[in-house]
Amino acid sequence: MLQPIADGVFVHVSEFIQSNCTVVQGRKGVLLVDPGITAGEMACLAADLRALGQPVVAGFATHPDWDHVLWHDEFRDAPRYGTARCAASIRDLLAQPDWTDAIAQGLPPEYADEIPMTLLGLIEGLPDGARRVPWDGPEVRVFEHRAHAPGHAALLIEGSRVLVAGDMLSDILMPFLDLEAADPLGDYLHALTLFAEIAGDVDVVVPGHGAIGTADDLRQRIAADRAYVTALRDGTALDDVRIGSSAPLDWLPDIHEWQAQRIRDRRRA
């Protein structure tokens, strides 16, 4: 079910790790950002939009992780955008003969049979350095960075003052680093600085996974994520409810320990 979060902006939430699809009202239809996880959920979203008389006129993938580059037949042939690096990354994956097997290894088993693969990753890259989503609707600014994944982008819906953060700024997930990057910690801190610089233009933040937040939540999440990344960098103790004994998901402490060990290994190399 669509939930309004600001003027002309809605979210549709998946059961899978509270995944958020952002829906932005345009002049002739809607922009879908990270549209969903299972075929049933996306069909439900399409039905909700039909009931509102709103066709899908564009899509956007914030980054190339499998759960952000899915699509459904009922969204029809609307153009699907991402940054140039995002599109290149998923294109390289799809060029591999065993790409379905590679993705299948990371699918949650309880949803694997419900995830549509046929339209996965068919992303059109924006020109390198593009600052706007090219569509007939409100100005949507693109802020590209290197945290979490290559070609990751956050979107600022200017008139509604909504920041769509992709897989960052979550209340339930600690920062997930791109440990294949040359400087994963520096990349993440740079992105958080970028978010801090535009925080004054934001009233609502939409993380890829987790609860929709206010402007105050945005600042608190920036601070919490900066504390997490800084502690990994410096090897200092960390007090973060997302990775403790009462973590929102029981596998998060293990992911945290794995990330911390990888950082320690890189430091010794």
Quick one: which H or E segment has residue 178?
A: none
Both 236 and 120 in one domain: the answer is no
Both 41 and 71 in one domain: the answer is yes
Average pLDDT on 173-198 reads 97
Q: Tell whether 107 is covered by a domain.
A: yes
Average pLDDT on 230-240 reads 93
Average pLDDT on 207-230 reads 98
Average pLDDT, the chain: 95
Q: Tell whether 236 is covered by a domain.
A: yes
For residue 269, what pLDDT band results from cuts at 50, 70 and 90? confident
Both 185 and 245 in one domain: the answer is yes
Summarize pLDDT for 53-101 with one digit per residue, the tens.
999 999 999 999 999 999 999 998 899 999 999 999 999 999 999 998 8
**Separation in Å, CA 147 to CA 128, 132, 136, 218, 260:** 17, 20, 29, 17, 16
Both 102 and 26 in one domain: the answer is yes
Average pLDDT on 208-218 reads 98
Both 77 and 8 in one domain: the answer is yes
pLDDT of amino acid 96: 93
Domain coverage including residue 55: 1-129
Summarize pLDDT for 244-253 with one digit per residue, the tens.
988 999 999 9
Both 159 and 111 in one domain: the answer is no
Q: Tell whether 135 is covered by a domain.
A: no
Do the beta carbons of residue 86 and residue 123 sit within 8 Å?
yes
CATH number of the domain that 51 lies in?
A: 3.60.15.10
Sheet containing 30-33, strands listed edge to edge, beginning at the edge strand earlier in sequence: 3-6, 9-13, 20-25, 30-33, 56-60, 80-82, 124-125
Q: How far apart are CA 202 and CA 192, in angstroms?
A: 14
As given in the structure block, the two tokens for residue 247 are: 């973590």
Both 5 and 124 in one domain: the answer is yes
Q: How far apart are CA 29 and CA 51, in angstroms?
A: 12
For residue 256, what pLDDT band results from cuts at 50, 70 and 90? very high
Pairing between strand 30-33 and 56-60? parallel
Q: How far apart are CA 173 and CA 161, in angstroms?
A: 23
> For residue 149, how many other CB atoms are within 10 A of its CB?
24
Q: Tell whether 142 is covered by a domain.
A: no
Is the pLDDT assigned to residue 3 strictly greater than 80? Answer: yes
Beta bridge partners of 60: 33, 81
**Number of domains into which the chain is organized:** 2
pLDDT of amino acid 129: 86
Both 119 and 152 in one domain: the answer is no
Both 162 and 88 in one domain: the answer is no
Q: Tell whether 138 is covered by a domain.
A: no
> For residue 146, how many other CB atoms are within 10 A of its CB?
19
Do the beta carbons of residue 107 and residue 114 sit within 8 Å?
no
Is the pLDDT assigned to residue 263 strictly greater than 80? Answer: yes
Strands (E), the chain: 3-6, 9-13, 20-25, 30-33, 56-60, 80-82, 124-125, 140-145, 152-157, 162-166, 204-207, 213-214
As given in the structure block, the two tokens for residue 32 are: 């879908």
Both 61 and 114 in one domain: the answer is yes
Q: Tell whether 93 is covered by a domain.
A: yes
Q: Give one word for 173, left, alpha or beta, with left for phi > 0 and alpha for psi -120 to 50.
A: beta
pLDDT of amino acid 259: 96
Do the beta carbons of residue 58 and residue 23 sit within 8 Å?
no
Is the pLDDT assigned to residue 158 strictly greater than 90? Answer: yes
Both 120 and 229 in one domain: the answer is no
Both 153 and 124 in one domain: the answer is no
Average pLDDT on 124-149 reads 96
Q: Tell whether 141 is covered by a domain.
A: no
For residue 267, what pLDDT band results from cuts at 50, 70 and 90? confident
Which of these, 10, 1, 14, lies nearest to 210 by C-alpha position? 14
